[in-house]
Amino acid sequence: IITTAHEKLFRRFTPDEHKELHEKYLGEKPFPHLQLENFLNEDFARLLKDELLHEEFYQKSNDLYDFSQTKDLRNCSQPLISKFKNIIASFSEDVKAITNAKLEPQFDLFGAIYSKTCKLLCHDDRMPGRKIAYIYYLVPEDWSEDDGGALDLFHSEGTGGHHDGNFQPVSVAKSFLPKWNSVIFFEVN
């Protein structure tokens, strides 16, 4: 439940806006997705970033990725991160209305830092119980293409039988440059 204090930090959408965003979401290619800018109150976003950077980050590395990540932030007791958890829980109600997805009440929440040499290669984000993936960006406000880090959405083709679910990326269909205080979410099936 959003308190009056949270409403100043995060804007909920009206039923009419849900319908409009639902149509936009469904019309996006290569699969349903949506990017929302100015997701949080600017001052809160800056303070959240500062608090998040005081968390401990652990190196994660294998052939698919190389970056630093916090532990699960759902268990974090820092005040702004706790408020952010509540905001994301409330935002999931908007996401349900926009996507018509039946979402589980629990969600994954962690912070990640990608430095110049870090990577996250093409993957499908499928995990048991996950219907929607989201990314909230706290990158510098002057982030540019030269900084890299684009989120690429791929066209894919099946490699086996008609309904075997085995799809492989073919080409980049859409690319999103990380943008300060924006959130992007997409279907992961």
**pLDDT digit string (tens) for 102-119?**
988 888 899 999 998 888
Residue 75 CB-half CA count within 13 A: 3
Measured CA distances, 157 to 122, 162, 172 (Å): 14, 10, 12
Place of tokens 């894919």: 156
The pLDDT assigned to 138 comes to 98
d(CA 49, CA 41): 12
**pTM (predicted TM-score):** 0.88
Contact 148, 94 (CB under 8 A): no
The pLDDT assigned to 130 comes to 75
Contact 188, 168 (CB under 8 A): no
Contact 81, 44 (CB under 8 A): no
Average pLDDT for residues 47-60, to the nearest whole number? 97
Q: Map residue 49 onto helix, strand or coil.
A: helix
**pLDDT digit string (tens) for 66-89?**
999 999 999 999 999 999 999 999
